[in-house]
Structure formats: C-alpha cells, structure tokens
Structure 1
Amino acid sequence: MKIIVPMAGRGSRLRPHSLTVPKPLIPVAGQPIVHRLVKDIAKILNEPIEEIAFVLGDPAWFGDDVVSSLQDLAKSLGAKASIYRQDQPLGTGHAIMCAKDSLSGPAVIAYADTLIRADFNLDPEADAVIWVKQVDQPEAYGVVELNDQQEIVELVEKPAQFVSDLAVIGIYYFKDVSVLKEELQKVLDDNIIHGGEYQINDGIKGMMAKGNVFKTGEVAEWMDCGNKAVTLETNQRMLGFLEADGEEQLVAASVKNENSKIIAPCYIGENVLLKNATIGPNVSIGNNCVIENTSVKNSLIQNNTQIKNANLEEAMIGNHVKYDGKFTKISIGDYSVLE
C-alpha cells in the first residue's frame, strides 16, 4: 500500500501561523497535522505501508528541515519516503500528477489539511473508495451522489438542490492508482480546467465513465485545520480523543510544575516551565516554553515561547514568541514580541 500526500499549499487562511511554517507542519495536540493524518490512515488500513509520497511546494518554503521530518515520519511507519515538488498551484489533479512516478498499485491519496477518526474495512469489491462525512449543510460542500447499490455515481460541488448529505473530505483509496493516473493525464492533455485548476474530480469522473466502482468510506470524525478557529476546535477534539485512547503521554515527564494546576485534557511538551499558572482544559503547549502567572484554556501554543501575566482563552500562539499582556482571544505568529 502507498500513501500519496499533496501538501504544497501555503495555508494562507491560517496566517500568521503559516507565514514561517507550512500549514501541514503546524502541530495540533503535540504533532504536526500531516504526521497525525498519515499515522491515522496507516492505522485504519492496518496493512504494511510500502511508500509515502509527499508533494511539496517551493524548496525555499518546504526546505531540508521539512523533507527530513517527512522522511523520519515515513521511516517510523516502515515505509520509503518519496519527495516531489509542485512548482505551480495548478490544482488537486496537477498535484497528484507531480507524483506520477509513484502512482501504481493500491494507494490512498490524502490532502494534508484535515484529520479524521475512523474504524472500518475497505470494500474488496470497490475499485475505489471516497471517504465522506455526513454534514448538516451539504450545500456548502462537495458531496457524492449514490445509486440504489450505494455506489458513487457522481460528484457534485456545492449543490443548489439536495443530492446527499455525504461530504467529500479529501481522502481517497484506489485499488490501482495507475487507473486514476491515466485519467488525470487525459485531463492535463485535454486542458480540462475548472476554476483555473486541474481537479482530481475530473480524473475520478473519467474512471466512473469507464465502469470503475466507487464506494464510500464514512468517518466518525472529520476535523479541519483551515483557519485559527477551526484549528483550535480540532486541537480540543483531538486532545479528548487522545486522552480517551490513552495511547500517548500527553504531559512530558520533564515538565517543571511550580505551584501550577493542569486541567486535562492537555498536551505539554518537553522542558516546559509552569510557574503560578493554570493550564487547561484543551490546551497544547510545545517544547521549551515558559508559562508564568498565567491562565490558559482552549488554546494552542507552539515551541520556545514565553507567556507571562496573561489570561488566555481561544488563543493561538506561534514559535519563539514573548507575550506579556491582558488580551485573551489572540493570534500571534512566530518571533513576535508583545511586552
């Protein structure tokens, strides 16, 4: 099995946090988004992962440190890491085709801006599976249309009339991804463009037209990381799941607690000093931080940051920040100083 991860986007909706760190590498509940996504997919598949192909953007943005972290991620799953580049933002279909040398055999394609919780077996009768989630407002999403056999027969983007309430979440399984590769090559050759981009949906529709059977895989939870508000919500939900699972140590043994209170669930990284602080619930704090005379809840703080004399709620704070102040619902990017 292979996993293909297009992740070349800059994540403009998550600025300022994505100004210095690519969005898929921003930690949620203690791990980068793309790391959690790939590990969760590998867990769901429950079979050996042969290769993980990452499609990155400009090397000036996705540099050697990013490549190294992704190689380590693949190695931790016993897989080979393949690195490809998408030099222009030409859409989902174009991004996949940047990894064309890896497009063979069974594969999962997953876009690195979402997290899931799921537990199911892939349908052996299906040529492909599209992960979906039941939603309350399907008109705001791309949805699948099903026939009487519960096979996907159409993909409809933001339907004006009700088609179904099963939204496409951006994760796909192909029994043989080379079939998708052939259809996407036709999309590129015929210059089939929607919204100025080459879309994966046109390749999928080409497969459907040739009789390939698509089924749905429904996830229990679908968590977005598109902007500050939903990323904080995702951090909160993921912390709850991790606490319930009991599979990860959420508070590092090296945390120094001086007259401070931790209200679970929280993730607190290595070498953190808590002094006269109340942390939690639903807080993630990265490595090497100092939190002093401060209350923090429902917030996400990255690495090497110092927070003093604050009362924070629904805050998102980047790396190497110094903050001393009274505001609560703040969003501060890397290397900022407010004293």
Structure 2
Amino acid sequence: MAGSEQRVVAVIMVGGPTKGTRFRPLSLNVPKPLFPIAGQPMVHHPISACSRIPHLAQIYLIGFYEEREFALYVSSISHELRIPVRYLREDKPHGSAGGLYSFRDYIMEDSPSHIVLLNCDVCSSFPLPDMLEAHKKYGGMGTLLVNKVSAESANQFGELVADPETNELLHYTEKPETFVSDLINCGVYIFTPDILSAIEDVLKQKKDRANLRRVSSIEALHSATKALPPDFVRLDQDILSPRAGKKELYTYQTLDFWEQIKTPGMSLRCSGLYLSQFRHTSPHLLASGDGKRTATIVGDVYIYPSAKVHPTSKIGPNVSISANARVGAGARLINCIILDDVEIMENAVVIHSIVGWKSSIGKWSRVQGEGDHNAKLGITILGEAVDVEDEVVVVNSIVLPNKTLNVSVQEEIIL
C-alpha cells in the first residue's frame, strides 16, 4: 500500500431521481448514471478514468438513489477494476459541497492526501493523472478542470478568469447574465483535504446567520428567495466564488473533448466521443467486419457479445448495440444507441436515434433524427417496448414506452 501522503480518494456525484428529468423517457427505466453510453454505463467512464490515478485507494459514488439500484453495478465494477467502489446514499440533497462534507468520515478513512471530485454527467477524456501533477505543483487547496467554449454558450456554465501565467483562479461566477469569460468550469476537481475545512467554515457561517434573532429586510428577502436549508452547500457559489483570487484555487485546461450529458441528444453525441476515444484506450471494445462473415463495420462501433448482427447489415459510424439485440439482414445503422433486447428487422434504417429496451423496428421501416444533439426533437427517441410496424417512418420524434406505431410520424411527442 502506498504511503498515506500519496493516497487518493475519488468521489463521483451521481445525483438522484429528482434530477435528470430532461433525460426522460430514458431515465424512466434506469437511473441516469447507469444509462449505457458507448456500451458502458454513464458513470463507468469517470470511474474508469479514476482507476488510472496512481495510488487510488477508493472510489465513492454519492447520490440519493436507492442503494439497491446501484448494488449490482458497484459490486461488478469493484471486481472488474480491483478497486473498492462504494455507493453512499444521501438522506436528502446537500449540494455539491454539502454532499462531500456529509460523508467526510468515509472519505478520510484512508487518510488521503488528495480528493478527486467529479460530476457523473461530464463527458471528457479526464486527464486526471496530469491534472494531479499540476495540482501538486500549484500547491493550492484545489484545482479545477477548465475548457474554452464559444462566447455564445459560455453563460450556460460557470465562467472564470484565470491568471495566464500562474493559472490561479482569479474570479468565478456561475451562469452569469453578462459575458465574463470563454473559460468555463468542467465539473472536475482535485482538492486537498482542506476542502472539508472550507465547507465546515461555510456551514458555520450559515448556522450563525440562521441563529441571529434580528435579520435585516434585505437578508430576509434573500433567505426567502433562496429557501436553501442551512446544511446545503454549493461548491460553485459557496466555495469557488468567495475563495477565488486568494491563491487557494488553480486551473488546469483540457484541450481534449468535453461535454455535459444533460439530455438524450447529448448522450448520443457523447457515445460517439467515447467510441472514438476507445481507439486509443480500449481498441478491443470496438467491432470490426468486412461484410463477408460478419457485418460491414464503418468507423467506431461497439457490439455487445450477446447481440446478433446479420452479416449483410451495415453498421456505423458511432453505433452502440447492447445485450441480446438482433439486427436483421440489410439493416443500416448510423449514429445510434440500440439498447438491450431490441429487434431491428430486415432492411430497416436507424439514423441519429436511441432505440429503447425491448423495442422493435419492422421491415423496411425508417427511424431517424436530423442529428441536432441540442434540439428537443433533434434526434428520435423510442422508449421501452415501442413497436414500429413494417414500412413506417419515424422522424425527429419522442415516443414514450409501450406504444405501437402503425402510421408514419414526424416531429411529434407521442405520450
């Protein structure tokens, strides 16, 4: 075992069922963190990245899903990676920093020198070993992974200003109304255990304010507007903003891909990004085929071993096919996620779409979206057990579970 001065603990915030409503109808069947992206549960990608950190002692998943929903996955991934992975259930949401603090005794059990903190719905190459080395050189309490985005989209994220020479975080503001910077917070952090003392200070300040008998009219209005419990601590507003410019926080910029997985459309885009990354990190996961004994494979494709794909079908690029799916003769799949137990019959076409568990697509049918991952109807989504009958066309639509389509639809939400 590595010395205590070297140990690292990773914490991944996975949210809960009251979150991820934008991910419906896919989150109706499975917790959003376990939705398969590039053939692996969403949370698997940050877990796999954490496993490459030297001297990693433990990985904790913190959220407020029921423990039974994560039990099987946590057991299997711990065995696969040979690293202890544990799910810790919050009794209620405590905020991104409050959740970390509420399980401080578990986190500090291994006396780590560093704590890696990530949000589950981040899609990235996660350059954690390099980021950790940079963090040690900075000598501060924390380091944020940052990225440059367009000025038009920056206000959707936490914007920040960093010293171009020292990389010190000078200013931080969450989703500002006016443009501050094109440099944004990626939701990936490395802290020393001092972060827990910083959160404790915020909690004490909140408690002191709550105990004041006299509150000014402005403070009363502020409290009523925010209506946050005193044990709710936000990492961005309560920790990062007030401590910026005090030589405690630094930045590490990624030049690789980064996205947030807030919607099904973005999960499809991120599936393609991860499949592309597999070429360098896990080439054994990518399928190959020339159309003779196996299907013709174009670009990056993942096919689960139990899936059956006809040799005359053509698959890819950017396709993920899950367990026990069946793809018939002459079928064409492009930029799509095919979930467990789906049947795609002869000569069907699926493009820019997510096909839900146990759904079926009939002969000569076509299920497709236009491929705009940010638009509400930019891709087509079929919920669980949706049957698209023969020769039916479904374009830019969302279909909730247990529906049968015997007529063509375009740009519809079918409840």
TM-score, with normalisation over the residues of structure 2?
0.72
CA gap of 1:296–1:246, structure 2 versus 1, over 3 A, is: same
Per the alignment, residue 273 of structure 1 pairs with 308
Check the 8 A contact 2:288/2:297 in 1, yes or no: no
> More relative contact order in 1 or in 2 (CA 8 Å, sep 6+)?
1
Output the amino acid matched with 1:27.
P
Residue 66 of structure 1, CA deviation:
1.7
Partner in structure 2 of residue 300 of structure 1: 337
1:77: how far off? 3.7
**Candidates 344, 350, 358, aligned match of 1:320:** 358
CA positional deviation for 1:214: 0.8
State how 1:259-270 maps to structure 2 within 5 Å.
260-270=295-305
Give 1:96-115 correspondences, 5 Å limit. Answer: 96-104=100-108, 105=112, 106-115=114-123
Q: CA deviation at 1:182?
A: 1.9
Task: Return the offset for 1:233.
Answer: 1.1
Q: Is the 8 A contact 1:295 1:312 kept in 2?
A: yes
Return the TM-score normalized by structure 1.
0.86
Question: 2:47 corresponds to which residue?
Answer: 38
Deviations 1:282-334 (A, max 9, x none): 10111111011421101111222111242111011222222323332320122
Aligned partner of 1:30: which letter?
G
> Larger Cα Rg: Structure 1 or Structure 2?
2
Does the 8 A contact of 1:118 with 1:221 survive in 2?
no
Q: CA offsets per residue over residues 11-67 of structure 1, 9 Å max, x none? A: 211111111111111111111111111211332xx31211111113231xxx52522
Does the 8 A contact of 2:16 with 2:65 survive in 1? no
Question: 1:288 touches 1:305 (CA, 8 Å); kept in 2?
Answer: yes
Matched residue, 2:200: 182
- The one of 137, 142, 147 aligned to 2:158: 142
Contact 2:70–2:87 (8 Å) recurs in 1: no
Query: Any idea what SS the aligned residue of 1:88 has?
Result: coil
CA distance in 2 between partners of 1:163 and 1:270 (Å): 48
| Cα distance per residue 1:78-114 (max 9 Å; x no partner) | 4333322124345323333342323434211111001
Structure 2 residue matching 1:7: 3-state secondary structure = strand
Among candidates 365, 368, 387, match of residue 337 of structure 1: 387
The share of aligned pairs that are identical, in percent, is 21
Distance 1:209 1:217, change over 3 A: closer
CA gap 1:19/1:129 in 2 versus in 1, 3 angstroms: same
Residue of 59, 77, 96 corresponding to 1:52: 59
For the 8 Å contact 2:170–2:245, the answer to whether it is kept is no
1:213 and 2:248 correspond: yes
Amino acid paired to 1:175: T
Matched residue type, 2:104: K
Query: Does structure 1 conserve the Cα–Cα contact (< 8 Å) formed by 2:168 and 2:247?
Result: no
Matched pairs, number: 332
Structure 1 counterpart of 2:189:
172
* Structure 1: 5+ residue stretches without partners: none
What does the per-residue CA deviation read over 1:147-189, in whole Å, with 9 as the maximum and x for residues that have no partner?
4643113321223444322111111110114334424533663
Structure 2: 5+ residue stretches without partners: 1-7, 211-221, 370-379, 390-415
Partner secondary structure for residue 26 of structure 2: coil
> Structure 1 counterpart of 2:89, which letter?
R
SS in 2 for 1:248: helix
